[in-house]
Amino acid sequence: MGEYTELMRRSRDHLRPWYYGAETPNAFEDLIRRSRQDDYQLLVACLKDSGSIVGSFSLSQIFRGGFQNAFLGFAAGAPYAGLGYMQEGIELTLGHVFTTLQLHRVEANVQPANERSLRLVERCGFRLEGFSPNYLKIGGRWRDHRRYALTVEDWGTRR
């Protein structure tokens, strides 16, 4: 808990206004509680050699039935941004989504001014599907998003 909340606290200026991370023990406990539900998973990216946490990935609103979809969220700690860890983490997360969870599709919604995240999802093969005005409330404000998606068929072709 301490390492994750400290990374989010130290990364506040880097992450906002795109993402408001769990910076307190209570916020972290809420995140863990949420991850125990069937429709949400939290994955933490760690360095292989030291085990240090570099960021996290969330799969929310995991739908089954005819949809088989999840929404991907991600956040890199400031010291690790731009070093390729998030691309590697998304690739590993996609493997989990399409093989372990056996979902058909994953969406990533990114604020238009978040250029690094836009480039990241595009490098990972996500296809732009549209624009959603006032899509999600983040930091107390409704924010526009670009809507990206990747299907298992697209992912299989890329691999």
What would the pLDDT profile of 116-140 be if each residue is shown by its tens digit? 999 999 999 999 999 999 999 999 9
Report the sign of the C-alpha dihedral through residues 40, 30, 126, 149, in that order.
Answer: positive
33, 42 in Cβ contact below 8 A?
Answer: no
Residue range 73-116, pLDDT digits in tens = 999 999 999 999 999 999 999 999 999 999 999 999 999 999 99
pLDDT of 1 above 80: no
What is Dmax (Cα atoms) for the chain? 42
Q: Which residue has the tokens 């994750």?
A: 4
Q: In the prediction, which pLDDT does 4 show?
A: 95
Residue 45 scores a pLDDT above 80: yes
